[in-house]
Amino acid sequence: MLSAKEIKETAAEIGFDLCGIAPCRRLEETERRFRDWLAAGRQADLHYLERNLDKRFDPRRLVEGAQSVAVCAVNYKNAFSLGYADEWPAKIASYALNRDYHRTLKEMLRTLLLRLRERYPALQGRAFTDSAPLVEKRLAVEAGLGWIGRQSLLVTPQFGSFVLLGEVVLTEPCDRYDEPFSESRCGSCRACVEHCPTGAVCGERTIDAGRCISCHTVENAAGVAPRSLHGWIFGCDCCQSCCPYNLRTPLASHPAFRSPLDPLAFDCERWLRMTEEEFDAAFGLTPLTRSGLERIRRNLGR
């Protein structure tokens, strides 16, 4: 049987800011809500969300014999997380100003799994971070890390919504599981709803991908394209920068998220004269490669 205390201590040693543990089970209520969201067409052109519904809501379908899931989080808040001057024409979501978090978190999660297997040789498991059809935010709620805010993101008491999630699904039971976070602490606050410039924050704590600036600048989302991207060229932090919890949380302490690129050094003129080689040199290890230079240029001035 796995020791919850040992898992959390090891996660902290590796650099995770939060770690909670939940038993593996089918999340039936989450599945129902998700299917309703799909039926309403809120996924727009994100058709990959319609696949693997049999696996998405039960970690046991992704890892044979899975019994426990350790959900880990890293705070990524930086100097740009709370926003830019309104007139700045080349805004980049703060998570994208560092090395691609998929690489960083996957390395950390694999290290966690390796260390646990040194202690438990028979243990099997898999590490995930946005790399499988897994409802990460809901699993984080199940593991006691926080609640789902009105903007559909996980909100933690310690770090607000500026957290990146990763999971290790394990084939052994744990001696203690965390209590699910059963309450929402949003209260009557509707700041994220009111501050979304395109009205993408809907009811039931969901997002309309067809209206979401982040989806239109990063994904290939169709639907009602925003008339204006309000200066965002990659991603969007509008529904986070206004959240009262995010206003009072600390900046990131993990070295990988502590020294972001300076987006103010890249104005429209610099973006327009940038070569592919210069783009790769400056942003080749960041999430911006997902869009690419040509698409980022198209977003300028919108």
Smallest Cα–Cα separation from 90: which of 230, 221, 195, 199? 230
| Pairing verdict, β 147-148 and 154-155 | antiparallel
Pairwise CA distance, residues 49 & 120, whole Å = 35
Judged by DSSP in three states, 117 sits in: helix
Give the CA-trace dihedral at 75, 86, 235, 91, to 10 degrees: -90
Judged by DSSP in three states, 280 sits in: helix
Smallest Cα–Cα separation from 101: which of 235, 238, 199? 235
Smallest Cα–Cα separation from 97: which of 288, 243, 296? 288
**Active site (annotated) includes residue 130:** yes
Q: Which of 36, 130, 175, 262 is catalytic?
A: 130
Q: Which residues pair with 170 in a beta bridge?
A: 68, 125
H or E stretch at 148: strand 147-148
CB contact at 8 A, 186 and 149: yes
H or E stretch at 216: helix 213-218
Residues identified as active-site: 130
